[in-house]
């Protein structure tokens, strides 16, 4: 089980981080435009299983919110092209949390 803090893990090269994550799918995905409530894209935001989670924003810095919303509603079958800026989590939009067993 990985014990390093998320702040340390996100500094790793992408290949190493992918190996640690093991291709895990996100538990939930919520997209929240600036100043608005979030829209569920995957799941409903509930973290029902005990474990360690990271909450982060992978949308690129500088992405147009309207383009992001349109891309999230598109059925292209792959990740949307939102630009090539660094992800928001590199600017601090990241948190780590633990869900304890009931």
**In this model, does residue 57 exceed pLDDT 70?**
yes
- Which of 26, 44, 39 has the alpha carbon at shortest distance from 65? 39
Structure tokens at 45: 């935001």
For position 77, what pLDDT does the model report?
A: 62
Distance in angstroms (rounded) separating the CA atoms of residues 13 and 9: 9
pLDDT band, residue 34 (cuts 50/70/90): confident
For position 69, what pLDDT does the model report?
A: 78
Structure confidence by residue, pLDDT tens digits, 76-93: 666 667 778 898 988 999
Q: Which residue has the higher pLDDT, 23 or 34?
A: 34
Q: Which residue has the higher pLDDT, 66 or 73?
A: 66
Residue ranges of domains in the chain: 6-99
Q: Which residue has the higher pLDDT, 69 or 65?
A: 65
């Amino acid at each position: 089980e990985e014990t390093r803090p998320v702040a340390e893990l996100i500094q790793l090269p992408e290949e190493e981080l992918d190996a640690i994550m093991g291709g895990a799918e996100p538990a939930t995905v919520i997209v929240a435009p600036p100043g608005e409530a979030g829209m569920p894209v995957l799941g409903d935001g509930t973290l029902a299983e005990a474990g360690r989670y990271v909450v982060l924003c992978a949308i690129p810095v500088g992405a147009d919110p309207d383009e992001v919303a349109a891309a999230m509603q598109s059925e292209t079958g792959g990740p949307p092209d939102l630009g090539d800026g660094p992800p928001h989590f590199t600017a601090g939009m990241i948190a780590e949390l633990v869900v304890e067993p009931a």
